[in-house]
Structure 1
Amino acid sequence: MEAAPAAAVGEFHERPVAPALRTVFAAVWSHRMPEAAAPPVIVTPDGTIDLQWIGGALRIAGPDKEPQTEIIPAGTEIIGFRFHPGAAHAWLGLPVSEITSRRVALEDLWGVRARRLAKSIRDAADIERALLADRVEHPSGDMVMHAAFTLIMQGAPAGVALIPWLARALQMSERSLRRRFDENFGYGPKTLDRILRYQRFLSLRRTSPKVPTALLALDAGYSDQAHLVRESRRLTGLTPAAKAPYPAR
């Protein structure tokens, strides 16, 4: 069965996370596969990291650098808690570069603590209750890296080199910048810039579906439509004409 963009398979819903968890998680989402046999799904890099409940266990969906194809059984519901930019590193207690482009059982990272967290979980509400009970161990995220994410999402000024611009804006050396990016995002600023530029394009296409793709590409920061097509194939395996997958894992 041919793989399909995640948005084309099953049902997806997103809502705010419980207030007490909002310093760590940006949102909670659910993605239910159809009851009939589902095709493999293509997950597009979006610059985020998720804590997921799937198949009765918790896992971490690490930051992706390239499209990932997953085979998920029919009828399965995935519940995801999306980390704020810069929050996963402190919460997990390891550099996220160690889990880049991977799906890792939380138990493999935390052992007994993860088993205790997962013991009574049946649905999204249970996950939130378990996370709230564990809240004393929820450290604050890296707010400087959160700011870096926001700057890149907005886009560097035209004609300005990305890394020196970021280093100046964040008042840190380029060496420190690269290290902190590896710890918090799993890759460097240029990779995050490519991923978030594509996310800008997807956002523009959703809000302005009648605008020609070539104009949307320029607005998103691509040099031309051919540049967009190359990056789309690199990040999704698809051309921009295909239905875009949403940022769920």
Structure 2
Amino acid sequence: MFEVRSLRPSPRLSAYVRAFEARTQRLDAQVVLRPLPARPEQFLEFYLADRYRVRDAATGAVDTTPAAVLVGPQTFRRVDVLLAGDLDLFTIQFTPTGFHALFGHPATLLTDQAHAADAVLGREIAEIGERLQEAGSLSRRALIAEAWLNRRLDTCAPDPIAWAARRMEAFHGGVRVADLAAAADLGERQFERRFTTAVGVSPKRYARILRFRSALRLKGEEAESGWAAIAQAAGYVDQAHMIHEFRALSGETPQQLMRALAPARERHSPEVGNLQSTGSPVA
């Protein structure tokens, strides 16, 4: 079980950043494999001790992550992660449209990719990584990240796509795209183009990934529930539909994937609190 500690951003930044997270673990000689099936998250992650190694799911080739990596939504199981050594990670989890709003890049730049962060965001990433390493605690690291991101807020403007993405999250993908487009006062094609640019994937694909993640979460919370009940609760037509989607998004059946995920399962501790405008973490 890997513990994840998180801290919410200040209210001013909350439309763009979901949380700041810390993961620390000493595995010594042990190597733990973590499959990475399809997922909706976009994040910037700094490796402040040993780095992850990643194994290509298709070829088996293994590589080491850069010191800071920028990851977008993944639509299939592209890689697996090999966890080993002394791990000390600091992660900035963006909201679905947060990366695009803050940095101006289309989120499709990140789709099914993991870029060296400095290649996309510039040389200042190395300096921020050094400051994060020196800071030590989650709260101090979050303050450094806040100060950096706050400088970009002047370029951000309200966007109906952000509301639509949050709505899709709230209903785990169970929302009609036509209804979201109408609520955003956009034609369906215009809505789909803007959504894909801001979120990284089309609305329909995003809904599929959210439904898949909902099924995983439900099974994790209700281990005794059968897969037919999970399929119904997650909004699939039936269990066969769910199995088809699991194979498309993870390369595994539901049972196979849950077994593969078990050794590297994460436990999210209660949030420490949020950062206020004073720069102080408040519970």
Q: TM-score per shorter chain, which class?
A: 0.7 to 0.9
CA distance in 2, matches of 1:19, 1:230: 41
Query: Hey, what does 1:7 align to over in structure 2?
Result: none
Structure with a larger share of its residues in strand: 2
Which of 226, 240, 243 is matched with 2:258 structurally?
243
Q: Tell me which amino acid in the other structure corresponds to 2:2.
A: E
Structure 2: which 5+ residue stretches go unaligned? 50-66, 268-283
Q: 1:49 to 1:240 in 2, by over 3 A?
A: same
Give the structure 2 partner of residue 66 of structure 1: 76
In the alignment, structure 1 residue 210 sits paired with structure 2 residue 224? yes
- What residue number does 2:16 align with? 24
Q: Please give the alpha-carbon distance, in whole angstroms, between the structure 2 residues aligned to 1:189 and 1:165.
A: 12
Q: State percent identity of aligned pairs.
A: 22
Q: What's 1:137 paired with?
A: 152
Tell whether the 8 Å contact from 1:85 to 1:145 is kept in structure 2 after alignment. Answer: no
Instruction: List runs of 5+ in structure 1 lacking aligned partners.
Output: 1-9
Deviations 1:15-56, CA, capped at 9 Å, x for gaps: 223426434221223334522231442123221101101256
Quote the offset at 1:232 in angstroms: 1.2
| Number of residue equivalences | 235
The answer on whether the counterparts of 2:7 and 2:139 sit within 8 Å (CA) in structure 1 is no
For 2:200 and 2:71, locate their aligned partners in 1 and report how far apart those are by CA, in whole Å: 12
The aligned counterpart of 2:278 is none
Cα distance, 1:73–1:204 mapped onto 2, change above 3 Å: closer
Change (3 A) 1:78 1:237: farther
TM-score by length of 1: 0.81
Residues 31 and 83, structure 2, Cα contact 8 Å, conserved in 1: yes
Distance of aligned partners of 1:121 and 1:141 in 2 relative to their CA distance in 1, 3 Å threshold: farther
Displacement, 1:99?
1.6
Q: 2:112 aligns to what SS in structure 1?
A: coil
When the two chains are superposed, the root-mean-square deviation of aligned CA atoms in Å is 2.6
Q: What code does the residue aligned with 1:30 have?
A: A
Q: Which residue in the other structure is 1:128 paired with?
A: 142
Asked if residue 231 in structure 1 is aligned to residue 245 in structure 2, the reply is yes
Residues 40, 206 of structure 2: 8 Å contact kept: yes
Q: CA deviation at 1:210?
A: 2.6
1:79 correspondence with 2:95:
no
- Bigger shift: residues 49-58 or 180-189: 49-58
Q: 1:247 to 1:198 in 2, by over 3 A?
A: farther
Q: Distance in 2 between matches of 1:142 and 1:48?
A: 20
Seen in structure 2, the aligned counterparts of structure 1 residues 240 and 14 have a Cα distance that, compared at 3 Å, is: farther
1:14 corresponds to 2:5? yes
Does residue 94 in structure 1 map to residue 105 in structure 2? yes
The 3 A distance-change label for structure 1 pair 141 and 106 is farther
Asked if structure 1 preserves the Cα contact closer than 8 Å seen for 2:4 and 2:22, the reply is: yes
Asked if structure 1 preserves the Cα contact closer than 8 Å seen for 2:17 and 2:92, the reply is: yes
